[in-house]
Amino acid sequence: MNFLTNIDSPEAQTLRYRMVSEQIAARGVREERVLEAFRRVPRHLFLPSGPFLMERAYADSAQGIGSGQTISQPYVVALMTEALHLQGTETILEIGAGSGYQTAIFSLLCKRIIAIERHANLAERAGRLLNEVGVTNAEIRFGDGSNGLPSEAPYDAILVAAVAPEVPTTLLSQLTLQGRLILPIGEEHGPQRLLLFTKTPEGIQRQDLGHVAFVPLIGASGFGLPADLGDMDI
Ligand code: SAH
């Protein structure tokens, strides 16, 4: 894995270190492994090119990535990542790969990632980018991930990067004991909460990590397809 190649730059690195200290550490993310991953992954590579790329990439907000989708605000990616307390040995299922940025962060923190994306163009681009930056422990799959991927289960952690109307119980059944599921639950254009579930011998523990705003999970255990299918691949 080698992110610091000629596709990065000192300017981008400076902006990234600032992003980590001012947006992520300042808001309470403390795990050094997590902070280091955010310093290393060149976030600007995962955004569509165009004017003000550096400003967009390292801004304290979500950004468009095409197909009506967004790359989450850096702090939200960091909050979700830290909540999983990864040691480096885990197998992770990520639902909603989008740009591939979260996948790249995970690649430095766990053993293996399978990431599913329902937009073919985004899935293709994320896979290509991860390959270009030298990520070898992640695999992007195209399709509806709202019911997880039972064929490769169990997972030590599952992250859903799109809001679901309720917790898909099938995802909980794909976790190992002590496994964690993190996902936003709520309304498509209304209140959403980021929830963390941990599978324990006594049952499922639930923790509320606060208010968030995500694009909808579309699919069998998500929301229905929008009436306008204009930019939809499936
Ligand atoms: N974490 C991503 C951001 C993802 S935005 C990043 O770092 O860029 C949420 C993504 O979930 C979108 O790309 C959307 O197309 C995808 N998505 C929505 N429903 C899905 C489903 N059922 N299966 C797989 N991907 C889905």
Task: Tell me the CATH number at 140.
Answer: 3.40.50.150
Task: State residue 226's pLDDT score.
Answer: 65
Q: Is 8 in the pocket of ligand 1 (CB under 6 A)?
A: no
Give dist(CA 206, CA 105) in Å, integer. Answer: 24
> Does residue 5 belong to any structural domain of this protein?
no
Handedness of CA 14, 107, 45, 8 (dihedral sign): positive
Rounded Cα gap, residues 91 and 12, in angstroms: 30
Q: Which of 148, 55, 174, 57 is nearest to 104 (CA)?
A: 57
Letter string b/e over residues 105-119, b meaning 16 or more CB atoms within 10 A of that residue's CB? bbbbbbebbbbbbbb
SS3 170: helix
Ligand 1 touching residue 116 (CB < 6 A): yes
Q: Within a domain: residue 4? A: no
Q: What is the pLDDT of residues 120-174, one digit of tens each?
A: 999 999 999 999 999 999 999 999 999 999 999 999 999 999 999 999 999 999 9
> Do the Cβ atoms of 185 and 59 come closer than 8 Å?
no
What amino acid occupies position 37?
Answer: A
* Residue 20 is assigned to a structural domain of this protein: yes
Contact 77, 58 (CB under 8 A): no
96 pocket-lining for ligand 1 (C-beta < 6 Å): yes
21-44 pLDDT per residue, tens: 999 999 999 999 999 999 999 999
Cβ-based neighbour number of residue 128 at 10 Å? 11
Kindly state if the Cβ of 95 falls inside 6 Å of ligand 1.
yes
Residue 1: inside a domain: no
Q: Does the annotation mark 151 as catalytic?
A: no
Q: How many domains does the chain have?
A: 1
Domain interval for residue 128: 10-231
- Spatial neighbors of 32 by CB under 8 A, at least 6 apart, are none
pTM (2 decimals)?
0.95
- Measured between alpha carbons, how far is residue 211 from residues 86, 88, 149, 195 in Å? 23, 28, 27, 9
Indicate the top mutation candidate among 69, 76, 106, 212 to test ligand 1's pocket, ranked by most ligand atoms within 8 A of CB: 69
**Using CA positions, which residue lies closest to atom 16 of ligand 1?**
96
- Which pLDDT score is estimated for 18? 98
102 touches ligand 1 (CB under 6 Å): yes
Q: Whose CA is nearest to atom 10 of ligand 1?
A: 96
Do the domain assignments include residue 115? yes
Q: What's the confidence (pLDDT) of residue 1?
A: 52
CA 129 to chain centre: 15
Which ligand 1 atom is nearest residue 98's CA? 13
- With the most atoms of ligand 1 within 8 angstroms of its CB, the residue from 46, 77, 92, 118 to mutate is 118
Minimum CA distance residue for ligand 1 atom 14: 96
Residue 168 within any structural domain of the chain: yes
For 110, list phi and psi in degrees, rounded to 5. Answer: -140, -175
Is residue 146 in contact with ligand 1, taking CB distance under 6 Å?
yes
Asked, for residue 89, whether it belongs to a domain, the answer is: yes
